[in-house]
Amino acid sequence: MHDIVIIGGGPGGYAAALYAFNFGLSVALIEKDRVGGTCLVRGCIPAKSWLETAAVFQTVARSSEFGVRSSEPEVDWSAALARKNKIVDGLVGGLSGLLKTRDVDMYAGFGRAVPGGAVVTSLDGSTTMLPAKATIIATGSVARSIPGYDIDGERIVTSRHALDWEQRPERVAIIGAGAIGAEFASMLADVGSEVHLLEALDQILPGMEPEAAKAVGRSFRKKRINVKTGVRVDPPRITAGGVMVPFGDTSVDVDVVLVAVGRAPVTEGVGLEEVGVSTERGFIPVDAETMETAVPGIYAVGDIVAGTPQLAHVGFSEALAAVTHIATGETAAVDYRAIPMIVYTHPEAASVGLTEAQAIEQGYDVEVTNHGMRAVGRAIIHGETGGVVKIVAQKDGPILGATVVDPLAGEVIHELMYSVGWEALPAEAAAFIHAHPTISEGIGETLLAAAGRPLH
Ligand code: NAD
């Protein structure tokens, strides 16, 4: 009998397995594929590897701007793919080793919750019962599609296939301009593909501040991405040369369509009915303090949890909360107020806390400060002055949320994570000195302005 059986070895599941070691708990971890889950094997990590290839390509392509002569860059697609695979393999190997040193018992196969633990069905069809005192369900999510767009992995694909393309597609239509669609659009356009980005809502990166969407949109126009918002696509037509994607009274002809319209939780077939855990539109409701479902001893973490963002780092944090509760009975609730969200386009868009619209909706009287990166020395040196900083504070009160667009936004957003998490007043945060010259200085300037005493 294990203390915990975990179904799913992605960020939620493997973090739970690793963390349980701190409490001396025995753990069984069931994974049907490779440990690491979507994020490590076919999501965040490989996507960022491709984005890095695109960034290096662009740095070389623009080198003359910086006084460096170089020849025309070319993407060696198979070398870039091999590098991506090597990064993934290295991290999967490292994670497997770490799980071993933490004494986690690994079970390869398909896991299903049953009363008193879980059953694992291995590839050869044999089943093993794994009794446990607590069960953590961490089965993650899969890409959704839309009517008419049947994923065939060739002409109509999801991010999972696109990360393993063996050559650069010439012409791509991307449906959905959320994080996945925007990142692929940025990457593909940067390496020279023709990209059509088709979004149903009226802005790209819906949910992010409109100022951020506009700044990223400007960079997309420079990359010659054909961005269409407010678009409802009709079912595609497979043609001899590729795919035709109709929308409104027009259409685009492309080689491949990447569908990026969100991800659905994997909660069917994993034994939920059998153990009495109910779902809401496929997601599992949990106690926000402990991650325990309505069934005592059964926990859920990660992309399957109802009402929380589908982000690897949220999954990590939820895993820590679940394990802490199982081990000690105490709560270590996730602080959902200050979760950084980063879209790794070039430039990146990063946010934390509430947007202006969310703050108003929640009844706050808000004070908003916008600042551009145009005059920030480091941004000028980088040749990247299209960035923005936006800080949303309660009137005469703390910082509620912030957004940054810049190639380094995903790094510098973390100081604002503390500001939001610690409910700092703009004047308190502005009292600290930002080093000169840095991109963070753009945030310092915005904080000074938010505190009512701008400098530059
Ligand atoms: P998403 O929900 O972020 O974006 C989906 C987009 O598709 C939305 O903009 C939506 O309006 C649009 N859409 C839906 N139906 C459409 C239609 N019929 N036609 C055109 N557009 C349509 O989902 P995603 O980008 O697929 O990402 C899935 C999840 O993974 C998200 O929760 C996302 O936050 C997460 N993710 C995060 C990162 C990151 O943090 N960098 C990267 C990748 C994925």
Tell me what the pLDDT averaged over the chain comes to: 97
Please report the atom of ligand 1 found closest to the CA of residue 263: 28
Share of the chain above pLDDT 90, in %: 99
- C-alpha distances in angstroms, 124 versus 30, 110, 128, 251, 270? 15, 11, 12, 47, 18
- C-alpha distances in angstroms, 299 versus 33, 35, 115, 142? 21, 20, 13, 20
- Which amino acid residue places its CA nearest to atom 14 of ligand 1? 261
Confidence of residue 15 (pLDDT cuts 50, 70, 90): very high
**Ligand 1 proximity of 175 Cβ (cutoff 6 Å):** yes
* Token pair 């949303």: residue: 392
What structural domains and CATH numbers belong to the chain? 2-141+264-336 (3.50.50.60), 156-261 (3.50.50.60), 347-450 (3.30.390.30)
- Which amino acid residue places its CA nearest to atom 17 of ligand 1? 200
Predicted confidence at residue 18, as pLDDT, reads: 98
State mean pLDDT over 129-133: 98
- Enumerate the β-bridge partners of residue 265: 141
**Ligand 1 proximity of 236 Cβ (cutoff 6 Å):** no
CA dihedral 419, 423, 425, 430 (to 10 degrees): -10
Interatomic CA distance for residues 303 and 270, integer angstroms: 15
The residue to mutate among 45, 245, 247, 263, having the most atoms of ligand 1 within 8 angstroms of its beta carbon, is 263
Strands (DSSP E) contained in 125-200 are 127-137, 141-143, 156-157, 171-175, 194-198
**Ligand 1 proximity of 204 Cβ (cutoff 6 Å):** no
Interatomic CA distance for residues 440 and 434, integer angstroms: 7
**Ligand 1 proximity of 180 Cβ (cutoff 6 Å):** yes
Structure token pair of residue 403: 């957004």
**Ligand 1 proximity of 299 Cβ (cutoff 6 Å):** no
Structure token pair of residue 441: 């200085």
How many distinct helices (H) and strands (E) make up the chain?
14, 22
CA 291 to chain centroid, in Å, comes to 21
Summarize pLDDT for 68-124 with one digit per residue, the tens: 999 999 999 999 999 999 999 999 999 999 999 999 999 999 999 999 999 999 989
How many residues are present in the chain?
456
Q: How many CB atoms are closer than 10 A to CB 70?
A: 11
Classify residue 252 by burial, with Cβ atoms within 10 Å: 0-12, 13-18, 19+. buried
- Enumerate the β-bridge partners of residue 196: 173, 226
**Ligand 1 proximity of 213 Cβ (cutoff 6 Å):** no
Predicted confidence at residue 434, as pLDDT, reads: 96
Instruction: Examine the pLDDT at 193 and tell me if it is beyond 90.
Output: yes
State mean pLDDT over 282-309: 98
Confidence of residue 262 (pLDDT cuts 50, 70, 90): very high
The residue to mutate among 158, 161, 261, 405, having the most atoms of ligand 1 within 8 angstroms of its beta carbon, is 261
Ligand 1 center–CA 442 separation, angstroms: 29
Ligand 1 center–CA 257 separation, angstroms: 15
Spatial neighbors of 24 by CB under 8 A, at least 6 apart, are none
Q: Are 120 and 30 in contact (CB under 8 A)?
A: yes
Ligand 1 center–CA 436 separation, angstroms: 36
Predicted confidence at residue 456, as pLDDT, reads: 86
Interatomic CA distance for residues 443 and 391, integer angstroms: 9
Predicted confidence at residue 229, as pLDDT, reads: 98
- Which amino acid residue places its CA nearest to atom 40 of ligand 1? 342
Whole-model pTM over 0.85: yes
Instruction: Examine the pLDDT at 320 and tell me if it is beyond 90.
Output: yes
State mean pLDDT over 2-29: 98
Alpha-helix runs per DSSP H in 102-235: 159-162, 179-190, 210-222
- Comparing CA positions, the residue from 198, 145, 149 lying closest to residue 172 is 198
Ligand 1 center–CA 120 separation, angstroms: 32
Please report the atom of ligand 1 found closest to the CA of residue 341: 40
- C-alpha distances in angstroms, 310 versus 37, 213, 262? 13, 20, 10
Ligand 1 center–CA 203 separation, angstroms: 12
- C-alpha distances in angstroms, 444 versus 65, 147, 242, 262, 389? 28, 47, 49, 35, 10
C-alpha dihedral sign at 113, 118, 123, 125 = negative
Distance spanning both ends of the chain, measured CA to CA: 64
Structure token pair of residue 108: 């390869």
Interatomic CA distance for residues 260 and 188, integer angstroms: 14
Summarize pLDDT for 373-427 with one digit per residue, the tens: 999 999 999 999 999 999 999 999 999 999 999 999 999 999 999 999 999 999 9
